[in-house]
Amino acid sequence: MILQGNEDLRVVKTIEGVKRAFEELICEKDYEKITVKELCDRARLNKKTFYHYYETLDALLAELQMELSAGYLERIKDYELPKDLDKVNREFFLFSAEQGLAYEKITCSVTYHSIRDEMVDDVNDAGWGKSRKYRNLSEFEKKLLMGFVNNAVLTAYRQWVENGKETPLEEVIEMTNRIVLGGVNGFFK
């Protein structure tokens, strides 16, 4: 349940507790191994309360995905693609660096590929969908371009996380921008 700001304090505490417990469990194990019972035990509520707010764990995961996507989209809403791709890429890394371990796991783990793909699709639709250059591409060209950009950026992020974030973030952003901008600029020539 996405909080609107006018809920009773008990509802707010319940939803925040569910989300906190869910993120903790995401950090500890693969999504397929998380159960509603385990989540409820961790959040100190009964299953009936959980099901009052969420139909399934998938609904909770989808809500988490939507909140993460919305936070990033808010940061890039004024950028124009492909012209501002370097800025969008920078914002991705800065936003990602500010998130917690659950975000890292969702972004890096194979287990979360379906939810990650939904997040990527939301971002692509919102960011690239406004671009006239992009809209003029064939479906094949759009998929090829998005595959390149998404794979390059996500691979760089995953590698940075996997290496313990030893490389300074600014260097990672610069390297990724060189790779991505070179490919995208060449694509649109």
Surface-to-core class of residue 90, CB atoms within 10 Å of its CB (0-12 exposed, 13-18 middle, 19+ buried): buried
Q: Give the pLDDT confidence of 48-79 residue by residue, as tens digits.
A: 999 999 999 989 988 888 888 888 889 999 99
Q: Give the pLDDT confidence of 65-119 residue by residue, as tens digits.
A: 888 888 888 999 999 999 999 999 999 999 999 999 998 988 888 877 777 777 7
Question: In terms of domains, do 103 and 38 share one?
Answer: no
* Nearest by Cα to 183 from 156, 162, 161: 156
Q: What integer is the mean pLDDT of 150-156?
A: 95
Q: What integer is the mean pLDDT of 166-185?
A: 97
Residue 167 lies in a domain: yes
Residue 1 lies in a domain: no
* pLDDT value of position 97: 96
Question: In terms of domains, do 20 and 105 share one?
Answer: no
Question: In terms of domains, do 78 and 140 share one?
Answer: yes
Question: In terms of domains, do 183 and 163 share one?
Answer: yes
Residue 4 lies in a domain: no
Question: In terms of domains, do 85 and 178 share one?
Answer: yes
- The secondary structure of 145-173, three-state, reads HHHHHHHHHHHHHHHHHHCCCCCCHHHHH
CATH of the domain at 31: 1.10.10.60
Give the residue numbers spanning the domain of 44.
9-54
Instruction: Name the residue with tokens 């974030």.
Output: 165
Separation CA 128–CA 82 (nearest Å): 8
* Nearest by Cα to 50 from 20, 18, 10: 18
Helix (H) or strand (E) holding 91: helix 85-98
Rounded to the nearest 5°, which phi and psi values hold at 69?
A: -60, -45
Domains held by the chain: number: 2
